[in-house]
Amino acid sequence: MVTDPAYFSGMPSGAGQAYLPSETNITHLQRTYQLHRDRFMQEEKAAFDCTLALLNGKSWALFSGQLGLPAWITESDMLKTSVNLVFAIRETGRAMLAPRNLKCTARIPGSAPDSDQALRVESYMNDLIRSSGLESEERRAIDDRILFGRSIKKHGWDVVSGTPFCRTADLYSVFFDLEAKRPSDIRYWMECTPVSATEFSRRIRSGVYPNWAAEVASQAYPTWMRRMDTDASRGHVQSAPWYLVYEYYDVEHGKVYHFTDADPRPLLVDDLHFVPYEVTT
């Protein structure tokens, strides 16, 4: 899936660099993301990795020091590892909450329930449900809520298929305003999105990103986004070159920014026409 960053801001693809004011300095946005990332590393990542290790039956990783946890086993630890309670809890939650075989029924005002028009609409909508992967995305969201206490969904536009999408976002890379008391009070959202070299070049050629972006250096997969501290050298996905694009959605001021962590100039600045995230606990 290739997400068009212009979709969130209303900026047409290939609109040129008029939307990229070079005088805009986003150092404070870089610092804000770094603060959230450091807090996640210190307060949540070890707990998330611990839960995933137990879920996957890799309890040995908890006591080998790989996750930064104590290397001794308590009676409570033995209880958790002798029987995979995390897996049982996750499966129970899935069975109770996850939708199965989603279908809709269409009704056309003034027509019989089984009219040809109603059946055509019903067939079309059910085909969209199947092709969109709605059920699998909802299961991922339910898993996150059960295992980590929250899930985040992101809405956007897939430029390859030309259709909207709704996917479960990675909790390791998406942060938001922690001072908010309710979802409607969230003032900003942030996400680090590793972009392939092909996609990053496409954005430059199409004018979505400025020409100077070609100077941005690629990086390895971010350490804080590696689940269970997987070594980057163990897989192609993590060792391949990535371009880290940070997306900042300023809800309070109605702005969207794209930037890197090594340059104070933004890759993209424009008005924010809708908030692409929603959080559920």
Q: How many CB atoms lie within 10 A of CB 193?
A: 19
| 60-81 burial code (b ≥16 CB/10 A, e <16) | ebbbeebbebeeeeeeebeebb
Least confident of 68-72, 90-94, 117-121, 138-142: 68-72
pLDDT score of 25 more than 70: yes
* The pLDDT value given to residue 18: 36
**Contact call for residues 268 and 19 (beta carbons, < 8 A):** yes
pLDDT class of 164 with cuts at 50, 70, 90: confident
User: What is the rounded distance in angstroms from the CA atom of residue 82 to the CA atom of residue 76?
Assistant: 10
* The pLDDT value given to residue 157: 81
Taking only the tens place, the pLDDT of each residue in 199-233 is 999 999 999 999 999 999 998 888 888 887 554 44
Average pLDDT for 9-17: 40
Four-CA torsion 86, 87, 90, 93, nearest 10 degrees: -110
* The pLDDT value given to residue 220: 85
pLDDT score of 13 more than 50: no
pLDDT score of 46 more than 60: yes
* The pLDDT value given to residue 192: 95
Average pLDDT for 99-114: 84
Q: How far is CA 193 from CA 173, 200, 226, 245, 272, in A?
A: 8, 11, 13, 5, 18
φ, ψ at 19 (rounded to 5°): -90, 5
Average pLDDT for 140-165: 88
User: What is the rounded distance in angstroms from the CA atom of residue 37 to the CA atom of residue 45?
Assistant: 10
User: What is the rounded distance in angstroms from the CA atom of residue 174 to the CA atom of residue 29?
Assistant: 14
* The pLDDT value given to residue 169: 94
Average pLDDT for 73-98: 78
Strands 174-176 and 188-195 come out as antiparallel
Output the six-digit token pair for 208: 């979505």
3-state per-residue secondary structure call for 115-139: CHHHHHHHHHHHHHHHHHCHHHHHH
Q: What percent of the chain has pLDDT over 90?
A: 40
Q: What angle do CA 267, 273, 274 make, to 5 degrees?
A: 105
* The pLDDT value given to residue 252: 92
Of the spans 96-100, 131-135, 202-206, which averages the highest pLDDT? 202-206
Average pLDDT for 250-262: 93
* The pLDDT value given to residue 78: 60
User: What is the rounded distance in angstroms from the CA atom of residue 59 to the CA atom of residue 82?
Assistant: 9
Q: What angle do CA 208, 211, 213 make, to 5 degrees?
A: 85
pLDDT class of 11 with cuts at 50, 70, 90: very low
